[in-house]
Amino acid sequence: MADIKTKDFSKASAVSILDPQLRRALRQVGTGFDAARRAAIDEVSPKLWDEWREEARRIKIHSLDHLDYYLDLLEQNVTKAGGHVHFAKDAAQANDIMAELVRTRNIKIATKSKSMVSEELSLNPALEAQGVDVYETDLGEYIIQLAEETPFHLVAPALHKTKEQVAQLFTDKLGIPYNDDINALAAAARLALREKFLQADLGISGANFLVAETGTLVIITNEGNGRLSTSAPRIHVGITGMEKVIPSLQDLAVFLRLLPRSATGQRITSYVSMITGPRRADDEDGPEEFHLIIVDNGRSKMLADPDLREALYCIRCGACLNICPVYQKVGGHAYGWVYPGPIGAIVTPSLVGLKEAQDLPQASSLCGACREVCPVNINIPRMLLHLRQKSAESPDPSERSAGLVPNLLAEGYTRVMRSPALLSASHKLGRWQQNVWAAMPFFPFSKKGGMIRKASLPLLSRWTRMRDLPELPKETFRDIWKKDLKEGP
């Protein structure tokens, strides 16, 4: 599996928050992707949009509730079309299957179109260990492969790089003269990768959808690399998570409407490719062999948990990232693994374990914007809360996000809030404390506009260092109520 750096979430976000270039790149997410998404929805009418979302959700609920049945049907139909289906329970097994395929077929060069699952599995190193040269061919993926990084965004993996950085990278890695014109950079990638497509023995793709009825793998792309990877080499291997299956060809229509609009605001992407088995005897071109690797890698755990199953409805459009106030500040890498943003904060702890990623579900203000934009209407905030609860109640301390002190404070807070007498006593204590501090020559905080700033309060300092607190008022609402309001005007 891909390296897991989820434990560093708070450290990594503190670093990215201070990076001015990331700030700029992330600001564009709202003005670019999200504005395009909103315009695309306005064009179809919000009412129709909601009908589509409900339809998509119904399809996903049905598919996942009967996943065993549809995987079986899919396997039968891929096989009938002349393809091969392999099932992998985890990352190691998926990589072994791939290794076996490249070994027995003497594969030297592979081109790959975008696949988040292959990032999750760390497929490239596994292939390289077999002596295969693997080329990422989606422009964004190609850039991060050259830079040896992980995707920053589900849809735009190299979103965090400036054109100057890409130009320097191409100069260093491809040995071409520096040119930071974006068109020239795309042309350079085209030139470098065109010969690889034509030399490759193996094309690897992910899948956006798998149609059980016909045994069809569907990929949705804009660049044409997906078409080339699945058409030019002599073998095509699709590798994907088991949750991608939908029952019928007719179910595809609604997803083709929702996904491009949610991802980039397009009515449809430049290409939608539907692949059913290898080329037929009479076809002009296309791979001689077609393999499909279906991966579990922790997904059955999510399936088994009724509170998390919904996360498997995700179609990876990235809309929840683009709208998320946390993602917009910390960016994709802080999330520490392959899937960033609100949906990543659910998928990652579910797949790698809460022990590794207990901080991710905390990284949300629970504002609910993610759910509002989600084309499958996934209730992300509910699942974040569920994971927080799981973490807080876990008997295993390493799964808990907060340490002893914050837990005690939360416990105390609950008691005080439940008792009017304690609440009123604590207000008095707080005001008294505030007055004592205010009378001291050196305040442990500064006051401005009714706010207490940069307080370094004992026990609370990790919270208060970054956040301003309102000053306690002279009178509480209860005091005012008693004195002035109770009698009425």
Partner 1 sequence: MDRPLGVPKAEFLDSVRRALDRKPAAPDPAYPRLLDDVSALQVEAKRIRARLIETRPALLDRFAEVAEAGGWNVHRTSDPENAMAHIQSVADSLGVKNAVRSDQEVFAQILVDAPLESTGISVTTVSHSPDRSRESLRSSIIAADIGLTGADYAVAETGSVIIMPRKGLSRLVSVVPPVHLALVRPEDLVESLDDLFLLRRLEYHDKGGEMGSYLNFITGPSRTADIEQTLVVGVHGPKEVHLVLLG
Should residue 326 be labelled a site residue for ligand SF4 when binding is judged by CB under 6 A? no
Nearest to 218 by CA among 278, 271, 266: 271
256 contacts which partner out of ligand SF4, partner 1, none, CB within 5 to 8 A by kind? Answer: partner 1
87 contacts which partner out of partner 1, ligand SF4, none, CB within 5 to 8 A by kind? Answer: partner 1
DSSP 223: S
Binding segment for ligand SF4 among 64-72, 370-378, 467-475, 478-486 (CB under 6 A)?
Answer: 370-378
Residue of 174, 268, 429, 438 interacting with partner 1 (CB under 8 A) = 268
Should residue 373 be labelled a site residue for ligand SF4 when binding is judged by CB under 6 A? yes
Whichever of 160 and 427 has its CB closer to ligand SF4, that residue is 160
Phi, psi of 162 (to 5 degrees): -85, 165
Q: Which amino acid is at 412?
A: G
Should residue 352 be labelled a site residue for ligand SF4 when binding is judged by CB under 6 A? no
Smallest distance, Å, CB 54 to partner 1? 16
DSSP 86: E
Nearest to 323 by CA among 380, 275, 283, 272: 380
User: Could you tell me the two tokens for 351?
Assistant: 């797949």
Q: Are 286 and 231 a contacting pair, CB within 8 Å?
A: yes
* Helix boundaries (H) for 175-270: 182-199, 225-231, 252-264
81 contacts which partner out of ligand SF4, partner 1, none, CB within 5 to 8 A by kind? Answer: partner 1
Should residue 318 be labelled a site residue for ligand SF4 when binding is judged by CB under 6 A? yes
DSSP 31: I
Residues across the chain: 489
Q: Are 225 and 200 a contacting pair, CB within 8 Å?
A: no
436 contacts which partner out of partner 1, ligand SF4, none, CB within 5 to 8 A by kind? Answer: none
User: Which residues in the 220-249 window bind partner 1 by CB under 8 A?
Assistant: 222-225, 227-228, 230-232, 242, 247-249
465 contacts which partner out of partner 1, ligand SF4, none, CB within 5 to 8 A by kind? Answer: none
Binding segment for ligand SF4 among 21-29, 232-240, 277-285, 314-322 (CB under 6 A)?
Answer: 314-322
Should residue 37 be labelled a site residue for ligand SF4 when binding is judged by CB under 6 A? no
Q: Are 286 and 234 a contacting pair, CB within 8 Å?
A: no
Whichever of 295 and 315 has its CB closer to ligand SF4, that residue is 315
Residue of 293, 314, 351, 455 interacting with partner 1 (CB under 8 A) = 293
Should residue 350 be labelled a site residue for partner 1 when binding is judged by CB under 8 A? no
Site string for partner 1, 8-47 (x = CB under 8 A): -----------------x--x---xx--------------
User: Could you tell me the two tokens for 273?
Assistant: 């490719």
Determine whether 28 is exposed, middle or buried from the number of CB atoms within 10 Å of its CB (0-12, 13-18, 19+): middle
Should residue 214 be labelled a site residue for partner 1 when binding is judged by CB under 8 A? yes
DSSP 33: I
Site string for ligand SF4, 118-157 (x = CB under 6 A): ------------------------------------x---
Q: Are 352 and 6 a contacting pair, CB within 8 Å?
A: yes
Dihedral over alpha carbons 305, 310, 315, 317 (to 10 degrees): -120
User: Which residues in the 109-138 window bind partner 1 by CB under 8 A?
Assistant: 137-138
User: Hey, how many other C-beta atoms are within 10 angstroms of the C-beta on 448?
Assistant: 11
User: Which residues in the 248-267 window bind partner 1 by CB under 8 A?
Assistant: 248-253, 256-257, 264, 267
User: Hey, how many other C-beta atoms are within 10 angstroms of the C-beta on 270?
Assistant: 13
Residues that bind ligand SF4 (CB under 6 A): 154, 262, 314-320, 343, 373-376, 378
